[in-house]
Amino acid sequence: MKKGLILFSAVLLSCSVQAGSTVRVYAAASLSNAVTEIARRYEKQYPSIKVVLVFAASSSLARQIETGAPADIFFSADQDWMNYLVKKQKIARSQVKPLLTNELVLIIPLQRQQSFQASSQFNFAQSFQGYVCTGQMESVPVGKYAKQSLTNLKWLKGLQGRIVETDSVRSALAFVERGECQAGMVYKTDALQSKKVKIAGVFPAHTHSPIVYPIALTEQGSKNADAVNFMHFMSQHTEAKKIYQHYGFKL
């Protein structure tokens, strides 16, 4: 009996160590390049740690975490979805750290020319033919920022029936890359990663809410020592900060 208890305890300890060596990060799609590079560098320094990355729109990730997805760290593209999980008691308010900022830009295919003036006097709808892509305007952060800018510039009504709303900023980028949309409203960092589009203009910061990326340990993650360590690396280590800046984010 005693031998059986010892064996059972050893199995439990083994499972505990194995579980602790995995860190699950749920991050906004626009963070794909930067967070992937940070994770791979961290794994090289700490070979016993496996960082599992899940990228999607912040809205989708937040809802997954709400329903029990095993996330240790949530890295959102806006404060609203972070606040949502705080209210759902999946994240403690004290864990939330605003980390990065970004810009909202207009992109067009490389071969196209398009004028752009961020003014309510400029007729944006008549400046191009076809569709403009962005994220879903009621949920996906980039789409929410886009709607705010279009509304404040008084351009939204003129684009009725010509806005394609996608499930993430990377999907919106892909639509413009393929020529299915003649323009797109995405983050500057995403536009910089593509060789098939160019930036036609920047939407002034005063036309939308500040584009801030908060990061936080989930309730699950706060109990995972490896997640706590990786969170510290992601948010405070000089190497990670350089990677964010390389991909166009501002700290």
Annotated binding site for molybdate: 30, 58, 169, 187
Tokens in use for 95?
């864990």
CA distances for 136 relative to 76, 142, 207, 219, angstroms? 16, 8, 18, 28
State whether residue 115 is helix, strand or coil.
coil
The phi, psi pair for 89, rounded to 5°, reads 60, 30
Give the total residue count for the chain.
251
Q: List b or e across 63-101, with b for residues whose CB sees 16 or more CB atoms inside 10 angstroms.
A: bbbeeebebbbbbbbbbbbbbbbbeeebbeeebbeebbe
**Helices 141-152/169-177 angle, 10° precision:** 70
- Annotated binding-site residue numbers: 30, 58, 169, 187
Sign for the CA dihedral angle at 232, 235, 238, 243 comes to positive
